[in-house]
Structure 1
Amino acid sequence: MPVNILFSARPELWPVYQPLLTKGLSEAGLDFNLATELAPDQVDYAAYAPNGGLLDFTPYSRLKAVLSLWAGVETIAGNTTLTAPLARMVDHGLTQGMTEWVVGHVLRYHLGMDRHITAQDGVWIPDAPPLATERRVCVLGLGALGEAAAQALAALGFNVTGWSRSAKDIPGITCLHGDDGLQHALSRAEIVVLLLPDTPATENTLNADTLALLPKGACIINPGRGPLIDDEALLAALNTGHIGHATLDVFRVEPLPADHPYWAHPNVTVTPHIASETRPTTAAQVICENIRRGEAGEPFLHLVDRNLGY
């Protein structure tokens, strides 16, 4: 009997994923039926994007797992109609893309690239930046993306501190956790990178109080989730000069409205949610591997803890 797999995502993704999933499932030796429309009570697995239209999982009575095509699962983790296991997307293509973006922007701040690009006024200022070993970087969030970024920065010699809600142990990284750990991590951070998930517990992680803990002139990089930052508090800290600059890739409302103060602020860089994205080639491999595992009775990869929301 074939395994029935529903592809539930935007229609334009179907011709991209269909051959990739077909190839991967065939190589796994599975007998399968992959389609964009199936009787709900016949679906075994759903390769799923929250913007694909499927919201009510009640009729999907034999569903073995929902396999998200997105890294973020905040829009589905709280869906009470979904009782089957939920796996988030963790793939090396997405991780590599995020690591490259984060390292690039940390180096931009570290080396003072903006100043040299804009100061073409004939003034010779030979002030070299410190070495990376003298630059303190804090990565908030030590999941797959945060750990990869932290390790890449440490490999370049940066003094890296990582913070997470629960205790972590990563070689070469000073790992802190809990409220006291957050205060300590921020109090010494010259560059802060946010890679936390979007949950009620992480909303406004950077707010007026926590921003005040940062050294004067600290820089912020947010490729994680928009709600991690209290926007009004960040703007206030930028206006006083306590925060030197912020590079923001994610926002509470996207696209970022044209009249939002971030666009015009001289000390804010806006990028249009491009830090990283799911790469179909590598994402399809993750989906196929989880289906193979499900059919072999093996544990699924990257399962979401519905209580934590990630």
Structure 2
Amino acid sequence: MIRIYFAAGARNWPGYRDTLPAALREAGIEAEISTEAPDPAAVDYIVFAPGGDIEDFSPFTRTKAVLNLWAGVERIVGNPTLTQPLCRMVDPSLTEGMVEWVVGHTLRHHLGMDRHILKRDAGWTQIVPPLARERPVAMLGMGELGAACARALAALNFPVTGWSRSPKTVEGIPCAHGEAGLEAVLRQAQIVVTLLPKTPGTENLLDARRLAWLPQGAVILNPGRGALIDDAALLAALDGPLGHATLDVFRVEPLPADHPFRRHPKVTVTPHIAADTRPASAARVVVENIRRGEAGLPFLHRVDTRRGY
């Protein structure tokens, strides 16, 4: 009998109470799921989420993997007691949600929806937007989510260029890397999407110097991590030539009521809704990794703890 400890917190359990057992049955896996702290030496797999029920992983000597319910792992990857394999969540539904948010807000800014949807007392100013093929997009981060969003925008004829810290190859999407590549990508981008993980190497990636590379009127969409952008530098750029910033993630969440982002006329705030883990599909991802662990196969989406993602 496989023993699973659902240590992702009581707030998450209702979504998995039925979906996780159903996914196990579908895979033909017999397992016992515990939501209360079990004997650590008897646990085969831990299902986890930041803010969950474990801080010290060292007693779980039998555990074959820690299966994270979030795509982001920055709040767990630095835990010195975590010696078990850690797998991040790559959920097809999460990817779908992110693609929809990115495409929706890209089209909103590209088409000038805020300006063109007439209010009762508005005038009649005809400003025709360019075609998508005339609106360059920079996708910063070419992992699972970034690549999916890049492909979706390219399918709408946006000329998308990807950027990542290390070389990446994504079919149909030209990709750059490194500092020189970042400058080249930003200098031509009218819309920038940030979908990088938070690591020491990506924190404040968009600082004052790099924001100054953007063309006048450029728009930033950040559904990735709040720490990717220097808040003060972004506000200063918005007071100048930067066109708009639509932000879904922040250094402190919920975003404080008195934060300048809430008042700035060139900022749109969405409450961390760009993508979320859907229990029904996420449970299947968790179970697939359990199946692989029991079969002696490599885990999917295993985190390189040295790189932080």
What TM-score do the two structures reach when normalised by structure 2? 0.97
Residue 291 of structure 1 corresponds to 290
Cα separation, 1, equivalents of 2:250 and 2:83: 30
Which residue identity is paired with 1:298? L
* 2:18 is aligned with 1:19: yes
What's the counterpart of residue 301 of structure 1?
A: 300
Which shifted more, 104-113 or 46-55?
Answer: 46-55
Q: Which residue of 2 aligns with 1:88?
A: 88
Cα deviation, residue 58, structure 1: 1.0
1:56 Cα deviation from its structure 2 partner: 0.3
| Alignment partner, residue 271 of structure 2 | 272
Match of 1:248 in 2: 247
Please give the alpha-carbon distance, in whole angstroms, between the structure 2 residues aligned to 1:59 and 1:139: 41
- In structure 2, what is the equivalent of residue 112 of structure 1? 112
Name which of structure 1's ranges 173-182 and 24-33 shifts more when overlaid on structure 2.
Answer: 24-33
Residue in 2 that maps onto 1:6: 5
Instruction: Return the offset for 1:190.
Output: 0.2
Q: Which residue of 2 aligns with 1:146?
A: 146
Q: Aligned partners of 1:260 and 1:234: how far apart in 2?
A: 13
Aligned-pair identity in percent equals 62
Asked if residue 237 in structure 1 is aligned to residue 258 in structure 2, the reply is no
Number of aligned residue pairs: 308
Paired with 2:207 and 2:118, the residues of 1 have a C-alpha distance of 30
User: What is the match of residue 199 of structure 2?
Assistant: 199
Aligned equivalents of 2:118, 2:194: Cα separation in 1: 27
Give 3-state SS (helix, strand or coil) of 2:170's partner: coil
Structure 1 residue 118: deviation in Å? Answer: 5.7
Change (3 A) 1:120 1:171: farther
Partner of 1:65 in structure 2?
65
CA deviations over 1:204-242 (Å, ceiling 9, x no partner): 0110000000001100000000000000000001112x1
What residue ranges of structure 1 are gaps of 5+ in the alignment?
Answer: none
| Structure-2 separation of matches of 1:127 and 1:116 | 8
Q: Where do residues 218-233 of structure 1 align in structure 2 (5 Å cutoff)?
A: 218-233=218-233
Post-superposition CA distance 1:61-96 (Å, at most 9, x none): 111000000110000011110101000000100000
Q: Residues 6 and 216 (structure 1 numbering): CA distance in 2 closer, same or farther, change over 3 Å?
A: same
Partner of 2:208: 208
Q: Structure 1 residue 171: deviation in Å?
A: 1.8
Match of 1:158 in 2: 158
Moved more, 202-211 or 31-40: 31-40
Per-residue Cα deviation, 1:133-176 (whole angstroms, up to 9, x for no partner): 11100010001110000000000000101101111111221101
- In the aligned structure 2, how far is the partner of 1:262 from the partner of 1:29? 49
Q: Are positions 1:52 and 2:73 aligned together? A: no
Tell me by how many angstroms 1:51 deviates. 1.1
- Quickly say closer, same or farther: Cα 1:29–1:122, change in 2 above 3 A: closer
Distance in 2 (CA, whole Å) between partners of 1:285 and 1:27 is 9
> Aligned partner of 1:272: which letter?
P
RMSD after superposition: 1.1
- What is the Cα deviation at residue 26 of structure 1? 1.8
1:281 and 2:245 matched: no
Match of 2:39 in 1: 39
What letter matches 2:4 in structure 1?
I
